[in-house]
Amino acid sequence: MEIAGNVALVTGAASGLGEATARRLHAAGATVIVADIAEERGRAVATELGGSDRFVRCDVTSEGEVTAAVEAAADRGRLAICVHCGGGGIAARTLARDGTPHDLDAFRRVVELNLVGSFNMLRLAAAAMAKNDADEGGERGVCVLTASIAGYEGQIGQVAYGSAKAGVIGMTIIAARDLSSVGVRVCTIAPGTIATPPMMMVPEAMRDVFAANVPFPKRLGRPDEYAALAQHIVENGYLNGEVIRLDGAVRFQPK
Ligand SMILES: NC(=O)c1ccc[n+]([C@@H]2O[C@H](COP(=O)([O-])OP(=O)(O)OC[C@H]3O[C@@H](n4cnc5c(N)ncnc54)[C@H](O)[C@@H]3O)[C@@H](O)[C@H]2O)c1
């Protein structure tokens, strides 16, 4: 898929991986729509990438707000790229040290944000993409979702987040098959430990441990390394239905 000339809807684009991806796709010639619930920061990013009106306030769990964001993006041209980075997690064990079970509503909220939000974004973006004229390769669009290596080997305290991200991993091949008839590809990136704002809020000593645990290179990932992979997935028409780990070969240990 050519990036230049297409519209890219990037969620979670006010910060971290989404922001880096928005900047990269803009530099590659896409019209980028910055979608996030963080309005001030989102508008500031959008202003740098062509105008504050390229920001849309969009809670990815809301049917109405995602529909409106997709419409706003499609109004700008051929919406053919969606990179979905809006998400986040909590830390809580199945049973707390004192034996209290994990709060059920907290579990539901994390699944709602990371799993239901991903599917909401995917289905509504795909519906708009299906109306595009196909390009020379028969493609009408490409969606990149964001899981986590916690979806494979979540650590103690990641039961809600890891379960939700495992759902995103599982969705990838099925959605790619579902959308094959309309020429929309679906891939997922499963990042390891990347130096985005939430990670930079972790105490430095703990970040050093994260970095030391990475076999090579012994450092945290950079947001632009995620963005570069997202760009490659968009451009490489034979990548479909795949989840790609971006983690320097790290495998999370229980703690
Ligand atoms: N940084 C890492 O090490 C890492 C590792 C694995 C997975 N991830 C995943 O990558 C994604 C991006 O994380 P990040 O590290 O860039 O964090 P970040 O906090 O820098 O960015 C996340 C953005 O998502 C937005 N967001 C939160 N809830 C939203 C909602 N309901 N609707 C729309 N936007 C919402 C936030 O406002 C924020 O701007 C998340 O899904 C996260 O779980 C990050």
Q: What is the CATH number of the domain that holds 21?
A: 3.40.50.720
Examine residue 133 and state whether it is found in any structural domain, yes or no. Answer: yes
Total structural domains within the chain:
1
The atom number, within ligand 1, closest to the CA of 87 reads: 41
Q: Are 144 and 188 in contact (CB under 8 A)?
A: yes
CB of 194 within 6 A of ligand 1: the answer is yes
CB of 49 within 6 A of ligand 1: the answer is no
Q: Which domain holds residue 107?
A: 7-191+224-246
The atom number, within ligand 1, closest to the CA of 113 reads: 31
Find the angle CA(172)-CA(74)-CA(36) to the nearest 5 degrees: 65
CB of 59 within 6 A of ligand 1: the answer is yes
Examine residue 103 and state whether it is found in any structural domain, yes or no. Answer: yes
Q: In this prediction, what percent of the chain has a pLDDT beyond 70?
A: 100
Find the angle CA(122)-CA(125)-CA(131) to the nearest 5 degrees: 135
Average pLDDT of the chain to the nearest whole number: 98
Distance CA 255, CA 247 (A): 17
Q: How far is the CA of 110 from the centre of ligand 1 (A)?
A: 12
Examine residue 208 and state whether it is found in any structural domain, yes or no. Answer: no
Give, for ligand 1, the residue of 9, 10, 17 to mutate: max count of ligand atoms closer than 8 Å to Cβ. 17
Residue nearest atom 7 in ligand 1 by C-alpha distance:
148
CB of 248 within 6 A of ligand 1: the answer is no
Examine residue 85 and state whether it is found in any structural domain, yes or no. Answer: yes
pLDDT range class, residue 16, cuts 50, 70, 90 = very high
CB of 173 within 6 A of ligand 1: the answer is no
Examine residue 203 and state whether it is found in any structural domain, yes or no. Answer: no
Residue nearest atom 40 in ligand 1 by C-alpha distance:
87
Question: Is 152 noted as a catalytic residue in this protein?
Answer: no
Query: For 245, phi and psi rounded to 5 degrees?
Result: -75, 140
pTM of the model: 0.98
Examine residue 51 and state whether it is found in any structural domain, yes or no. Answer: yes
Examine residue 230 and state whether it is found in any structural domain, yes or no. Answer: yes
Q: What digits encode the pLDDT tens for the residues 190-236?
A: 999 999 999 999 999 999 999 999 999 999 999 999 999 999 999 99
pLDDT range class, residue 181, cuts 50, 70, 90 = very high
Q: Which residue has the tokens 């020429």?
A: 183
Examine residue 134 and state whether it is found in any structural domain, yes or no. Answer: yes
